[in-house]
Structure 1
Amino acid sequence: MELIDTHIEELYKFTRKHYVEYYDVQTELVDHLANDIESICAQNQKLSFEQARDLSFKKFGIFGFMEVVESRQKAMNKRYWKIILRFAKEWFTVPKIVITISYFVSLFYILRIPYSKYIILALLFILVVFDLIKQSKAKKNHKQREEKNEKIFLLESMIGDTRQGFSGLAFINIFNLINLIKVPFNSLENYVLLIISFSLTLITILFYVTGYVMPEKAEELLEETYPEYKMVKSD
């Protein structure tokens, strides 16, 4: 049996039915299933497409496609962190290094101001509200795409998920760092204030890279990672 376009579309539906959400992982599984189904049918021509498909699916074991999905997620996670480091390194080039140093120095002097804790908490609150609004819009857009059955790639999903996760982690860490110190910041030694300023600067850079730089560069990163991405978007 030589599979036709209708069969291929059925295989995509089959992978989605078995909890494979990402188009790139679906495509890999569909290619594997299609080749295996043709091989099975060549050995037993009496089998229908559905029977051959089910026999091929049984080879994945009791967990179905989950092991394949987890394997691809682990591989993509390594690539994802390399991308984060690539963008983070850009902050240590001119002119961003100048902005970073200025930010670091500004934090240091703010911490020396009486009641600086409340200034930072107020700024953090404003940033949290702004970020929650942005996340809400992103979630709404993602839900609309799912309802329309649009093709979503694994890296694309990771950019959104990591952005939300790191945002929450960054805010919690900053809040805990501020409240961990029971005495006024301006009463601390300068070297302690330098450590705190450095920590806040590092968290801010990672937050900005994952929360704003990478989502804005998503199209470019997807085209770089997936050769088929342009064709999918033009469909």
Structure 2
Amino acid sequence: MKLTQEQTQYIFDYVSSRDIKWYELQVELTDHMVSSMEEIWEKDPELTFHQVKQYAENNFTGDSSFKSIEKERTEILGKEFRKEQWKMIGEYLKFPKIFASIIVVFLTFKISLYFEEPRKFVAGLFLFLIFVAIPMVYSYYKNRKIDGNRFIEIEKSNPLTLLFGGFINFGLSLGNVFKEEINEYALVLFLFCCLWALTVLCLITGILLQNKTIKRVKEQYQLN
């Protein structure tokens, strides 16, 4: 027995009330509930709507509870986002894009040699990326909610993770630890230039993925 549009909306509202804050999960869990209810109702048409709902809800217990599914899906989408980003970064390390990456590292290294204290130049490079990422931060907060709904996919493109929990913070912290070595040894300076170039790639791919994710979410759920 098929649920009516009103009954399906009731289930959607119920799922949303169970502290499921991500829209795509609200839709997914609603679909699971509706399918389960229709299957149960098909076998026993004498049951009432609320009885069928209760039987279907009983299937969401333990590892299959709403919150467990939310946690699992969040982790999966996070891994998928990182995997896709590293795949994009890998493209810049293959022919012919690798030449552009090599040129960036080489020019950065050569310019740093003109500074009396290269470590300050290196620190400036990493700090500069924070300002470059401002449009990415703006886009994230602008699209964090679309039509009042929040999405895991967009949340995983949070640029603050890259800025303060990723390579930028790592580069600044590591530069502070090896500040004397950066000034004294060209090899150490070169390695930091490589780390900076990798951070640039992370930032570029992060921006591209963020825009791609926002566009995909809007198209998939027909949102403005």
Quick check: TM above 0.5?
yes
In the alignment, is the contact (CA less than 8 A) between 1:100 and 1:201 conserved in 2?
yes
Instruction: Measure, in 2, the Cα distance between the counterparts of 1:133 and 1:92.
Output: 25
RMSD: 2.9
Shift of the alpha carbon at 1:34?
Answer: 1.1
Listed one character per residue, the Cα deviations across residues 95-135 of structure 1 (whole Å, up to 9, x for unaligned) are: 53222111111232234331222233334334324434641
Shift of the alpha carbon at 1:5?
Answer: 0.9
Give 1:149's aligned residue. Answer: 148
Instruction: Measure, in 2, the Cα distance between the counterparts of 1:92 and 1:107.
Output: 17
Percent identity at matched positions? 18
Listed one character per residue, the Cα deviations across residues 9-63 of structure 1 (whole Å, up to 9, x for unaligned) are: 1222222211323343333322221122234445555543234323322331268
Give secondary structure in 2 for the equivalent of 1:233. Answer: coil
Shift of the alpha carbon at 1:74?
Answer: 3.2
Instruction: Measure, in 1, the Cα distance between the counterparts of 2:179 and 2:132.
Output: 28
Are 2:221 and 1:232 equivalent residues in the alignment?
A: yes
Change (3 A) 1:48 1:99: same
In the alignment, is the contact (CA less than 8 A) between 1:33 and 1:56 conserved in 2?
yes
Give secondary structure in 2 for the equivalent of 1:128. Answer: helix
User: Please, which runs of 5 or more residues in structure 1 have no aligned partner?
Assistant: 224-228
Letter in 2 for 1:172: N
Give 2:176's aligned residue. Answer: 179
Shift of the alpha carbon at 1:4?
Answer: 0.6
Change (3 A) 1:184 1:170: same
Are 2:187 and 1:191 equivalent residues in the alignment?
A: yes
Instruction: Measure, in 1, the Cα distance between the counterparts of 2:90 and 2:40.
Output: 50
Letter in 1 for 2:176: N
Shift of the alpha carbon at 1:181?
Answer: 1.4
Give 1:226's aligned residue. Answer: none
Shift of the alpha carbon at 1:187?
Answer: 1.7
In the alignment, is the contact (CA less than 8 A) between 2:133 and 2:203 conserved in 1?
no
- Please show how residues 62-211 of structure 1 align to structure 2 within 5 Å: 64-112=65-113, 113-132=115-134, 134-143=136-145, 145=146, 148-150=147-149, 152-158=150-156, 160-161=157-158, 163-168=159-164, 169-183=166-180, 185-188=182-185, 190-210=186-206
Which one is further off, 91-100 or 65-74? 91-100
Instruction: Measure, in 1, the Cα distance between the counterparts of 2:144 and 2:26.
Output: 18
Change (3 A) 1:90 1:193: same
Are 2:216 and 1:215 equivalent residues in the alignment?
A: no
In the alignment, is the contact (CA less than 8 A) between 1:110 and 1:116 conserved in 2?
no
Change (3 A) 1:68 1:204: same
Which gives a bigger RCO, structure 1 or 2 (Cα 8 Å, sep 6+)? 1
Instruction: Measure, in 1, the Cα distance between the counterparts of 2:81 and 2:223.
Output: 25
Letter in 2 for 1:37: M
User: Please, which runs of 5 or more residues in structure 2 have no aligned partner?
Assistant: none
Matched residues, number: 221
Listed one character per residue, the Cα deviations across residues 114-162 of structure 1 (whole Å, up to 9, x for unaligned) are: 122223333433432443464145214324x2xx334x5433332x23x
